[in-house]
Structure 1
Amino acid sequence: MADAATEEMVLNMGPQHPSTHGVLRLELITDGEIVREVIPHIGYLHRCFEKHAESLTYQQTIPFTDRMDYLASMNNSHIWTMGVERMMGIDKDIPKRIEYIRVLVCELNRIASHLIAIGTYGIDIGAFTPFLWCFRDREHIMGMLEWASGSRMLYNYIWVGGLFYDLPVGFEERCREFVEYFKPKLVELNGLLTDNQIFISRTANVGVLPMDVAINYGCSGPMLRGSGLKWDLRRIDGYSVYPELDFEVPIGTGKMGTVGDCWDRYKVRVDEIEQSLRIVEQCLDRLQKELKRTPDFDPRAKMPRKITPKPQDYYVRGEGAKGELGFYFIADPAGRSEVPFRVKSRGPSFCNLSVLPALAKGVMIADLIAIIGSIDFVLGEVDR
């Protein structure tokens, strides 16, 4: 039987397969249950973002940033507006209350994004209950962000120079109630999934991503930190008010297997939820004690009437929910137009997904599902 002839077979996983987390087609070259090669085929969810940015003003493009990583839209618009404000030279003039509100809503959105990653990952492995729990708790965050912005998913809330609205009256109190409600729920989720022996067996020592490989492929976010590198742009670049906040940067430790395996990437996201809760609490403290709402506070007071940066090339980056989200701007060479000459987007999901063929060589098809789920990509950001 050892000399029995084998034949490779080509299988299509997607573009409508439930474990591909969106419209992604994976062409698998298999030898029985063993995956010899994975060839990703993308482009099914093209958002035309960069083309939109060439024909709209900087302010008008913000709703289109929301549609890239649509699970963490606040982070996208925050990084975009931060780049435009720096090009205009008004980044130091933004009131502290606005900066703290921006960080508050971004961290709430990061928690919501990670809850989707954890819940869908559980259902990929075969655990249905964590999926329901994560979506139940995410619903509270969606309700609060809808209350603040008027939208559940695509917010258009953070604008160049300010915010669309100030926080509604009572928002801080409701947000604090959510934090107190959610902390014990996170402990329950850890008991159900993180320490589940079946889940550990499916994820530990599977899809190991060494640190040097992660760096060479341009991985970032939980993908890179899961491989053991403490690299978080909120700390490295210290943008907005993050330098004033106290939080840790979780990394993969190899506690259940090898550093950089699927379990480590999952655990980094769980730990990041805890750190985001710390950040939210600190923002609420500042907003309720030192940066209180006043009747004359106008969140649009610093918004420029016309956004025409000087001729320049500028790259801005920030820590999105999936990793380093960057925008490379080429302003109008004449310095007169409100429409950028060119905008290039650096989506973290695109770089993180590119390492999949290297991770999937020689694994079982069932393990490939675990690897895909541990990457946590969004196709709107991959295709842009």
Structure 2
Amino acid sequence: MSDLLATEQNDLYNPNVLINIGPAHPATHGTLRVMCRINGETIEDANCEIGYLHRGIEKLGEEKTYHQWMVYTDRLNYCSALNNNITYAMTVENLFNISVTERTMWIRVMCMELSRIIDHIVCIAANALDLGAMTVFFHLIHWREEAYTMIESMCGMRLTTTYARIGGMSYDLPDNFTERLWKFCEDIPKTLDEVEGLLNANRIWIDRTKDVGVINKVDALRLNVTGPTLRAAGIDHDLRRDRPYYVYPELDFDVVIGSKGDVYERYLVRMEEIRQSVRILKQCNKRIPAGPLWVDDKRVRIPDKMDVYTKMEVLIHHFKIFMEGIDVPKGEAYTATEGPNGEVGFYIVSRGGPKAWRMRVKSPSFIQFQAFENTIKGGRIPDAIAHLGSVNIIAGELDR
């Protein structure tokens, strides 16, 4: 920051001006602050400041029991809370060295792909709105609400879901979920076609997004970005295929790759990834097996409510799980999944007992925001806004 402030204050003719983009700005998508030194409309230097939304979530992970901390995963990337829930539950399950049931695996994959669709819709719709395409926003945001309505039928919540449990899921799928998911998967591609008809050949959209915010292959690897931003730069990497988990090896889908790494290609990658998620959801809806939700392990299994109400021993067991917490074996585990914006990972060190000794979160937004200041230098202020929307930084997971 000191280098940025080192301007010639005594020079009355110095064209450089310091401005703040954020933390209270309608285009920053959260409490983000970027201090820029500008010359006219050109950004000559920039510095990203992290910490405005810091809530000590990682430290809370060492103070709360494993079950209590589940709700905090919702507050990381709140656009895709289900992905956070499931990745965290996977990490604790790895410490126990247990594997969830087959039905739970399929449900979790469905949840993660619904989260991906929601997150991509928010990214594209908000970015389009920032650049003046209001019609696109209303077209897409309808389907985000439809997806939230289905998630609400699964767990009772829309945004902050807390649906996953260590060893299972809080609820099974509702009776009419299969039919509703089929309708969702059949109808949403029509809207995607309409949006592409509005944007792909739109002269204003092309001028605002092509050759803007370019992150090439070399910079993408050097800056350690992941997810759609990495793939738009031409790097063929997706954890669902390259480090597979759950039932992804059994599913047929394509990894979407770009070449140039600009705002326009990040938009195209996300649009096609929504289609691939729909493709995955159709396969899951067709192939999901019947069976139990919970792993048969008393260390983690939450008893059925009816047994809690009618059996004293089960009531005591239920009470101990939630009041004292589960006894996690000693060890350490890192688990990562392919989140909507990149690699989402949880690293837990356990010394035994109901609380983590160390809890760390790898969030894609933290990496993307570090790369942001390098990318916008030399560009213009409106281009910085377009670039910021295209990488979809969520302040909730940036400040942990």
Query: So what's the TM-score if we normalise by structure 1?
Result: 0.92
**Aligned residue type for 1:27:** M
Deviation, structure 1 residue 309: 3.4
User: Contact 1:164/1:300 (CA < 8 Å) preserved in 2?
Assistant: no
User: Contact 1:329/1:342 (CA < 8 Å) preserved in 2?
Assistant: yes
Q: Per-residue displacement from partner, 1:194-229 (whole Å, max 9, x unpaired)?
A: 332211111111111111211121100111111000
Deviation, structure 1 residue 157: 0.5
Count of paired positions: 365
User: Contact 1:162/1:302 (CA < 8 Å) preserved in 2?
Assistant: no
Q: Which has the larger radius of gyration?
A: 2
Match of 1:245 among 224, 246, 251: 251
User: Contact 1:113/1:321 (CA < 8 Å) preserved in 2?
Assistant: yes
Match of 1:304 among 296, 299, 308: 299
**Residue of structure 2 in register with 1:231 after alignment:** 237
Query: So what's the TM-score if we normalise by structure 2?
Result: 0.88
Q: Per-residue displacement from partner, 1:235-275 (whole Å, max 9, x unpaired)?
A: 1110111111111110113xxxxx11111111111111010
**Residue of structure 1 in register with 2:399 after alignment:** 383
Deviation, structure 1 residue 84: 1.0
Match of 1:31 among 31, 34, 39: 39
Aligned pairs (5 A) from 1:1-384: 5-91=13-99, 94-253=100-259, 259-287=260-288, 291-292=289-290, 297-299=292-294, 302=297, 304-305=299-300, 307-332=326-351, 335=352, 337-384=353-400
Q: Per-residue displacement from partner, 1:260-297 (whole Å, max 9, x unpaired)?
A: 1111111111111010001100100012xxx13x6xx4
**Aligned residue type for 1:320:** G
**Aligned residue type for 1:285:** K
Q: Tell me the distance in 2 between the aligned counterparts of 1:249 and 1:58.
A: 34
Q: Tell me the distance in 2 between the aligned counterparts of 1:105 and 1:172.
A: 13
Q: Does the C-alpha gap of structure 1 residues 44 and 303 become closer, same or farther in structure 2, counting only changes over 3 Å?
A: farther
CA RMSD of superposed structures (Å): 1.6
* Structure 1 unmatched ranges of 5 or more: 254-258
User: Contact 2:169/2:293 (CA < 8 Å) preserved in 1?
Assistant: no
Q: Tell me the distance in 1 between the aligned counterparts of 2:298 and 2:66.
A: 12
* Structure 2 unmatched ranges of 5 or more: 1-11, 301-320
What fraction of aligned residue pairs are identical, expressed as a percent? 39
Q: Tell me the distance in 2 between the aligned counterparts of 1:134 and 1:83.
A: 33
Deviation, structure 1 residue 299: 4.0
Local SS of the residue matching 2:78: coil
User: Contact 1:161/1:303 (CA < 8 Å) preserved in 2?
Assistant: no
Deviation, structure 1 residue 137: 1.3
Q: Per-residue displacement from partner, 1:55-104 (whole Å, max 9, x unpaired)?
A: 1122221111111000000000111111111111102xx21111101111
**Aligned residue type for 1:17:** H
User: Contact 2:140/2:191 (CA < 8 Å) preserved in 1?
Assistant: no
Q: Does the C-alpha gap of structure 1 residues 302 and 117 become closer, same or farther in structure 2, counting only changes over 3 Å?
A: farther
Deviation, structure 1 residue 298: 4.7
Q: Tell me the distance in 2 between the aligned counterparts of 1:62 and 1:359.
A: 35
Deviation, structure 1 residue 42: 2.2
